[in-house]
Protein backbone atom coordinates (compact mmCIF):
# COMPACT_ATOMS: atom_id res chain seq x y z
CA UNK A 1 0.00 0.00 0.00
CA UNK A 2 1.21 3.49 -0.86
CA UNK A 3 -0.01 5.93 1.77
CA UNK A 4 0.18 9.72 1.72
CA UNK A 5 0.24 11.33 5.16
CA UNK A 6 -0.15 15.10 5.18
CA UNK A 7 1.02 17.20 8.13
CA UNK A 8 3.51 14.58 9.35
CA UNK A 9 6.04 17.18 10.52
CA UNK A 10 3.48 18.14 13.12
CA UNK A 11 2.59 16.54 16.41
CA UNK A 12 -0.04 13.81 15.93
CA UNK A 13 0.93 13.21 12.28
CA UNK A 14 4.50 12.39 13.28
CA UNK A 15 3.31 9.89 15.90
CA UNK A 16 1.08 8.34 13.23
CA UNK A 17 3.95 7.85 10.76
CA UNK A 18 6.12 6.31 13.49
CA UNK A 19 3.30 3.89 14.34
CA UNK A 20 2.70 2.94 10.70
CA UNK A 21 6.42 2.26 10.16
CA UNK A 22 6.41 -0.01 13.21
CA UNK A 23 3.23 -1.99 12.62
CA UNK A 24 2.88 -1.85 8.80
CA UNK A 25 6.53 -1.97 7.66
CA UNK A 26 5.58 -3.16 4.17
CA UNK A 27 3.65 0.07 3.42
CA UNK A 28 5.35 2.86 1.52
CA UNK A 29 4.71 6.15 3.25
CA UNK A 30 4.84 9.53 1.53
CA UNK A 31 4.72 12.65 3.65
CA UNK A 32 3.54 16.08 2.50
CA UNK A 33 4.17 18.98 4.83
CA UNK A 34 4.35 22.74 4.38
CA UNK A 35 6.79 23.10 7.31
CA UNK A 36 4.86 26.06 8.69
CA UNK A 37 5.73 27.50 12.11
CA UNK A 38 4.61 24.41 14.03
CA UNK A 39 5.99 21.80 11.62
CA UNK A 40 9.50 20.82 12.43
CA UNK A 41 11.99 18.90 10.32
CA UNK A 42 13.74 17.52 13.41
CA UNK A 43 10.47 15.90 14.52
CA UNK A 44 10.69 13.66 11.45
CA UNK A 45 14.43 12.94 11.69
CA UNK A 46 14.02 9.35 12.89
CA UNK A 47 11.51 8.17 10.32
CA UNK A 48 13.00 10.09 7.40
CA UNK A 49 16.26 8.30 8.10
CA UNK A 50 14.73 4.83 7.86
CA UNK A 51 14.34 4.84 4.07
CA UNK A 52 10.67 3.80 4.05
CA UNK A 53 9.31 7.35 4.19
CA UNK A 54 9.53 9.90 1.35
CA UNK A 55 9.22 13.60 2.16
CA UNK A 56 7.52 16.16 -0.11
CA UNK A 57 7.50 19.85 0.75
CA UNK A 58 4.28 21.66 -0.08
CA UNK A 59 0.78 22.70 0.89
CA UNK A 60 -2.40 20.66 0.88
CA UNK A 61 -4.18 23.50 -0.97
CA UNK A 62 -1.79 23.11 -3.92
CA UNK A 63 -3.74 21.03 -6.44
CA UNK A 64 -0.81 20.56 -8.83
CA UNK A 65 1.56 19.47 -6.08
CA UNK A 66 -0.83 17.00 -4.47
CA UNK A 67 -1.81 15.57 -7.87
CA UNK A 68 1.84 15.11 -8.83
CA UNK A 69 2.57 13.23 -5.60
CA UNK A 70 -0.53 11.05 -5.95
CA UNK A 71 0.02 10.17 -9.60
CA UNK A 72 3.80 9.97 -9.45
CA UNK A 73 3.78 7.50 -6.57
CA UNK A 74 0.61 5.50 -7.20
CA UNK A 75 -0.88 6.65 -3.90
CA UNK A 76 -3.82 4.52 -2.75
CA UNK A 77 -5.00 6.35 0.37
CA UNK A 78 -4.54 9.70 2.12
CA UNK A 79 -4.65 10.58 5.82
CA UNK A 80 -4.83 14.33 6.46
CA UNK A 81 -3.26 15.67 9.66
CA UNK A 82 -2.29 19.01 8.12
CA UNK A 83 -4.04 21.85 9.95
CA UNK A 84 -3.73 25.14 11.72
CA UNK A 85 -4.66 23.97 15.19
CA UNK A 86 -4.25 26.57 17.93
CA UNK A 87 -7.38 28.26 19.27
CA UNK A 88 -5.52 31.27 20.67
CA UNK A 89 -3.87 32.05 17.34
CA UNK A 90 -7.22 31.71 15.57
CA UNK A 91 -8.64 34.36 17.90
CA UNK A 92 -5.91 36.75 16.70
CA UNK A 93 -6.55 35.95 13.02
CA UNK A 94 -8.67 33.18 11.52
CA UNK A 95 -7.82 33.50 7.81
CA UNK A 96 -4.94 31.02 7.63
CA UNK A 97 -7.17 28.53 9.47
CA UNK A 98 -9.76 28.64 6.72
CA UNK A 99 -7.09 28.26 4.06
CA UNK A 100 -5.63 25.07 5.57
CA UNK A 101 -8.58 23.55 7.36
CA UNK A 102 -11.31 24.25 4.80
CA UNK A 103 -9.70 25.00 1.41
CA UNK A 104 -6.96 22.44 1.99
CA UNK A 105 -9.47 19.71 2.78
CA UNK A 106 -11.57 20.67 -0.24
CA UNK A 107 -8.47 20.35 -2.44
CA UNK A 108 -7.54 16.94 -1.03
CA UNK A 109 -11.11 15.72 -1.53
CA UNK A 110 -10.96 16.81 -5.18
CA UNK A 111 -7.67 14.98 -5.72
CA UNK A 112 -9.07 11.84 -4.06
CA UNK A 113 -12.11 11.93 -6.38
CA UNK A 114 -10.22 12.80 -9.58
CA UNK A 115 -7.74 9.98 -9.02
CA UNK A 116 -10.25 7.49 -7.64
CA UNK A 117 -8.26 6.82 -4.50
CA UNK A 118 -9.43 4.07 -2.17
CA UNK A 119 -9.84 6.13 0.98
CA UNK A 120 -9.42 9.55 2.58
CA UNK A 121 -9.23 9.93 6.34
CA UNK A 122 -9.77 13.48 7.61
CA UNK A 123 -8.39 13.99 11.11
CA UNK A 124 -10.72 16.39 12.90
CA UNK A 125 -11.47 17.37 16.48
CA UNK A 126 -14.08 17.07 19.22
CA UNK A 127 -14.12 20.88 19.28
CA UNK A 128 -16.46 20.91 16.28
CA UNK A 129 -19.22 19.85 18.73
CA UNK A 130 -18.70 22.96 20.88
CA UNK A 131 -18.96 22.64 24.65
CA UNK A 132 -21.01 20.20 26.75
CA UNK A 133 -22.03 20.83 30.37
CA UNK A 134 -23.14 17.26 31.11
CA UNK A 135 -23.06 13.92 29.29
CA UNK A 136 -20.93 13.19 26.23
CA UNK A 137 -20.65 14.13 22.58
CA UNK A 138 -21.56 11.28 20.25
CA UNK A 139 -20.94 11.27 16.52
CA UNK A 140 -24.61 12.29 16.14
CA UNK A 141 -24.19 15.47 18.23
CA UNK A 142 -24.86 18.50 15.98
CA UNK A 143 -21.76 20.53 15.33
CA UNK A 144 -21.63 23.94 17.02
CA UNK A 145 -18.04 25.27 17.03
CA UNK A 146 -17.15 28.30 19.14
CA UNK A 147 -13.76 29.52 17.89
CA UNK A 148 -12.46 30.46 14.44
CA UNK A 149 -10.22 27.37 14.70
CA UNK A 150 -13.01 24.93 15.48
CA UNK A 151 -15.30 26.58 12.92
CA UNK A 152 -12.64 26.03 10.24
CA UNK A 153 -12.32 22.36 11.25
CA UNK A 154 -16.11 22.04 11.10
CA UNK A 155 -16.01 23.51 7.58
CA UNK A 156 -13.58 20.74 6.60
CA UNK A 157 -15.87 18.12 8.17
CA UNK A 158 -18.83 19.47 6.21
CA UNK A 159 -16.86 19.41 2.95
CA UNK A 160 -16.12 15.73 3.65
CA UNK A 161 -19.80 15.05 4.23
CA UNK A 162 -20.77 16.91 1.06
CA UNK A 163 -18.21 15.06 -1.10
CA UNK A 164 -19.43 11.75 0.27
CA UNK A 165 -23.05 12.67 -0.48
CA UNK A 166 -22.40 14.19 -3.89
CA UNK A 167 -19.69 11.92 -5.31
CA UNK A 168 -19.52 8.93 -2.96
CA UNK A 169 -15.92 9.98 -2.24
CA UNK A 170 -14.61 7.34 0.20
CA UNK A 171 -14.07 9.63 3.16
CA UNK A 172 -13.94 8.76 6.87
CA UNK A 173 -13.70 11.36 9.64
CA UNK A 174 -12.00 11.11 13.02
CA UNK A 175 -12.68 13.53 15.88
CA UNK A 176 -10.00 13.44 18.53
CA UNK A 177 -9.78 14.87 22.03
CA UNK A 178 -7.04 16.96 23.63
CA UNK A 179 -3.83 15.18 22.76
CA UNK A 180 -0.52 15.21 24.63
CA UNK A 181 2.89 13.57 24.32
CA UNK A 182 6.40 14.23 23.02
CA UNK A 183 6.96 16.57 20.03
CA UNK A 184 3.97 18.86 20.72
CA UNK A 185 4.71 22.46 19.72
CA UNK A 186 5.06 24.53 22.90
CA UNK A 187 1.96 26.68 22.47
CA UNK A 188 -0.67 24.21 23.78
CA UNK A 189 -1.31 23.97 27.52
CA UNK A 190 0.94 21.03 28.45
CA UNK A 191 4.08 21.78 26.37
CA UNK A 192 3.71 25.56 26.82
CA UNK A 193 3.57 25.23 30.59
CA UNK A 194 6.16 22.44 30.75
CA UNK A 195 8.77 24.36 28.76
CA UNK A 196 8.14 27.60 30.67
CA UNK A 197 8.24 25.92 34.08
CA UNK A 198 11.43 24.06 33.19
CA UNK A 199 12.96 27.48 32.40
CA UNK A 200 11.63 28.88 35.70
CA UNK A 201 9.20 31.18 33.89
CA UNK A 202 5.65 32.13 34.92
CA UNK A 203 2.64 30.40 33.33
CA UNK A 204 -0.71 32.06 32.46
CA UNK A 205 -3.72 30.08 33.68
CA UNK A 206 -6.89 31.27 31.95
CA UNK A 207 -9.58 32.27 34.46
CA UNK A 208 -9.90 29.90 37.42
CA UNK A 209 -8.59 26.82 35.59
CA UNK A 210 -11.86 24.94 36.02
CA UNK A 211 -12.28 24.09 32.33
CA UNK A 212 -12.39 20.38 31.61
CA UNK A 213 -10.61 18.67 28.75
CA UNK A 214 -10.63 15.00 27.81
CA UNK A 215 -7.01 13.97 27.34
CA UNK A 216 -5.57 11.24 25.15
CA UNK A 217 -1.94 10.31 24.50
CA UNK A 218 -0.69 10.95 20.95
CA UNK A 219 0.20 7.27 20.48
CA UNK A 220 -3.36 6.21 21.37
CA UNK A 221 -4.76 8.93 19.11
CA UNK A 222 -2.51 7.76 16.25
CA UNK A 223 -3.58 4.14 16.80
CA UNK A 224 -7.22 5.26 16.64
CA UNK A 225 -6.63 6.96 13.29
CA UNK A 226 -4.90 3.85 11.91
CA UNK A 227 -7.80 1.73 13.13
CA UNK A 228 -10.24 4.01 11.31
CA UNK A 229 -8.10 3.92 8.16
CA UNK A 230 -8.26 0.14 8.14
CA UNK A 231 -11.69 -0.54 9.63
CA UNK A 232 -13.86 2.57 9.52
CA UNK A 233 -16.91 2.69 7.29
CA UNK A 234 -16.87 5.31 4.55
CA UNK A 235 -19.19 8.25 5.15
CA UNK A 236 -18.90 7.80 8.94
CA UNK A 237 -17.29 9.84 11.71
CA UNK A 238 -15.52 8.27 14.72
CA UNK A 239 -14.72 9.93 18.04
CA UNK A 240 -11.23 9.14 19.35
CA UNK A 241 -10.97 9.85 23.06
CA UNK A 242 -10.03 8.45 26.41
CA UNK A 243 -11.93 8.74 29.69
CA UNK A 244 -9.45 11.22 31.15
CA UNK A 245 -11.55 14.25 31.97
CA UNK A 246 -9.39 16.68 33.92
CA UNK A 247 -9.61 20.32 34.88
CA UNK A 248 -6.75 22.56 33.82
CA UNK A 249 -5.95 22.93 37.54
CA UNK A 250 -5.43 19.17 37.83
CA UNK A 251 -3.06 19.21 34.86
CA UNK A 252 -1.21 22.19 36.36
CA UNK A 253 -0.68 20.32 39.64
CA UNK A 254 1.15 17.49 37.84
CA UNK A 255 3.15 19.99 35.77
CA UNK A 256 4.33 21.77 38.92
CA UNK A 257 5.20 18.51 40.67
CA UNK A 258 7.15 17.08 37.72
CA UNK A 259 9.11 20.28 37.09
CA UNK A 260 9.72 20.89 40.80
CA UNK A 261 8.15 24.37 40.64
CA UNK A 262 5.72 26.09 43.00
CA UNK A 263 2.45 28.02 42.79
CA UNK A 264 4.36 31.32 42.78
CA UNK A 265 5.02 30.77 39.05
CA UNK A 266 1.28 30.55 38.27
CA UNK A 267 -0.55 33.72 37.21
CA UNK A 268 -4.34 33.57 36.99
CA UNK A 269 -5.09 35.84 34.04
CA UNK A 270 -8.35 37.23 32.73
CA UNK A 271 -9.57 34.67 30.17
CA UNK A 272 -8.18 35.74 26.76
CA UNK A 273 -10.61 33.38 24.96
CA UNK A 274 -13.57 35.07 26.65
CA UNK A 275 -16.95 33.74 25.40
CA UNK A 276 -15.23 31.37 22.97
CA UNK A 277 -13.65 29.35 25.78
CA UNK A 278 -15.34 25.95 25.88
CA UNK A 279 -15.98 24.85 29.45
CA UNK A 280 -15.96 21.10 28.94
CA UNK A 281 -15.28 18.42 26.33
CA UNK A 282 -16.31 14.82 26.80
CA UNK A 283 -16.78 12.17 24.12
CA UNK A 284 -18.45 8.80 23.84
CA UNK A 285 -16.12 6.51 21.91
CA UNK A 286 -18.27 3.36 21.81
CA UNK A 287 -18.54 3.53 18.03
CA UNK A 288 -14.79 3.11 17.47
CA UNK A 289 -14.44 0.71 20.40
CA UNK A 290 -17.08 -1.49 18.75
CA UNK A 291 -14.65 -1.79 15.81
CA UNK A 292 -11.97 -3.12 18.17
CA UNK A 293 -9.91 -0.06 19.16
CA UNK A 294 -9.26 1.07 22.71
CA UNK A 295 -6.74 3.45 24.28
CA UNK A 296 -3.83 1.74 26.05
CA UNK A 297 -2.00 4.48 27.97
CA UNK A 298 -2.59 5.27 31.64
CA UNK A 299 -3.09 9.01 31.97
CA UNK A 300 -1.05 10.20 34.96
CA UNK A 301 2.06 8.07 34.28
CA UNK A 302 2.07 9.09 30.63
CA UNK A 303 1.55 12.76 31.53
CA UNK A 304 4.53 12.48 33.88
CA UNK A 305 6.69 10.80 31.25
CA UNK A 306 5.70 13.45 28.72
CA UNK A 307 6.90 16.21 31.06
CA UNK A 308 10.06 14.21 31.63
CA UNK A 309 10.52 14.06 27.82
CA UNK A 310 10.46 17.87 27.74
CA UNK A 311 13.02 17.96 30.55
CA UNK A 312 15.29 15.61 28.62
CA UNK A 313 14.80 17.01 25.11
CA UNK A 314 15.63 20.67 25.41
CA UNK A 315 17.52 20.43 22.12
CA UNK A 316 14.13 19.83 20.42
CA UNK A 317 12.21 22.74 21.95
CA UNK A 318 14.85 25.35 22.81
CA UNK A 319 15.35 26.43 19.18
CA UNK A 320 11.56 26.81 18.92
CA UNK A 321 11.10 28.98 22.01
CA UNK A 322 14.14 31.07 21.04
CA UNK A 323 12.74 31.73 17.57
CA UNK A 324 11.79 35.43 17.15
CA UNK A 325 8.44 34.51 15.58
CA UNK A 326 7.53 32.33 18.54
CA UNK A 327 8.56 35.06 20.97
CA UNK A 328 6.60 37.64 19.00
CA UNK A 329 3.38 35.64 19.35
CA UNK A 330 3.92 35.06 23.08
CA UNK A 331 4.55 38.77 23.55
CA UNK A 332 1.58 39.81 21.42
CA UNK A 333 -0.86 37.42 23.11
CA UNK A 334 0.36 37.30 26.69
CA UNK A 335 2.27 40.58 27.02
CA UNK A 336 -0.60 42.55 28.49
CA UNK A 337 -1.20 39.87 31.14
CA UNK A 338 2.37 38.91 32.04
CA UNK A 339 4.23 42.17 31.48
CA UNK A 340 7.78 41.80 32.80
CA UNK A 341 7.14 38.15 33.64
CA UNK A 342 7.16 37.18 29.93
Give me the active site residues, please: 126-127, 149
How far, in Å, are 87, 94, 200, 276, 293 from residue 205 at the CA level? 15, 23, 16, 16, 34
Q: Judged by CB, which is closer to ligand DAU: 88, or 245?
A: 88
What pairing do the DSSP bridges indicate for beta strands 53-57 and 244-247?
unpaired
3-class DSSP state for residue 4? strand
Question: Which single residue brings its beta carbon nearest to ligand DAU?
Answer: 125
Least distance in Å: CB of 127 to ligand DAU? 5
Least distance in Å: CB of 63 to ligand DAU? 25
- Contact residues toward ligand DAU (CB under 6 A) are 85-88, 125-127, 177-178, 188-189, 192, 204-206, 211, 213, 248, 281
Q: Judged by CB, which is closer to ligand DAU: 177, or 232?
A: 177
Residue 169, burial from CB neighbour count under 10 angstroms (0-12, 13-18, 19+)? buried
Distance CA 114, CA 133 (A): 42
3-class DSSP state for residue 311? helix
Least distance in Å: CB of 319 to ligand DAU? 20
Distance CA 18, CA 192 (A): 24
Alpha helices in the chain (DSSP H): 11-23, 45-48, 63-72, 87-92, 95-98, 104-114, 148-167, 189-198, 218-231, 248-259, 286-289, 299-312, 314-321, 324-338
Least distance in Å: CB of 157 to ligand DAU? 12
Q: Judged by CB, which is closer to ligand DAU: 170, or 186?
A: 186
Q: 313: which residues sit within 8 A by CB, 6+ positions away?
A: 182
Least distance in Å: CB of 192 to ligand DAU? 5
Q: Judged by CB, which is closer to ligand DAU: 7, or 177?
A: 177
Q: Judged by CB, which is closer to ligand DAU: 117, or 192?
A: 192
3-class DSSP state for residue 59? coil
How far, in Å, are 2, 106, 109, 111, 126 from residue 71 at the CA level? 11, 18, 15, 10, 33
Amino acid sequence: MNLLVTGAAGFIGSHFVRLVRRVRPDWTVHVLDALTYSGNGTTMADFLADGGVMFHHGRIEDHTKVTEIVQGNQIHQIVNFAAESHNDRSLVSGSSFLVSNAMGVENLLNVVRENQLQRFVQVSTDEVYGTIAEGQFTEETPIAPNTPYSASKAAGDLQCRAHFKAYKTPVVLTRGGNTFGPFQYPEKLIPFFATRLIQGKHVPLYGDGSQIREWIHAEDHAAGVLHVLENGLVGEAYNIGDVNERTNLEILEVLLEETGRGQELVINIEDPRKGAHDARYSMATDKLQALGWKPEKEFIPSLRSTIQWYRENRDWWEPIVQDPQYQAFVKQYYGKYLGDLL
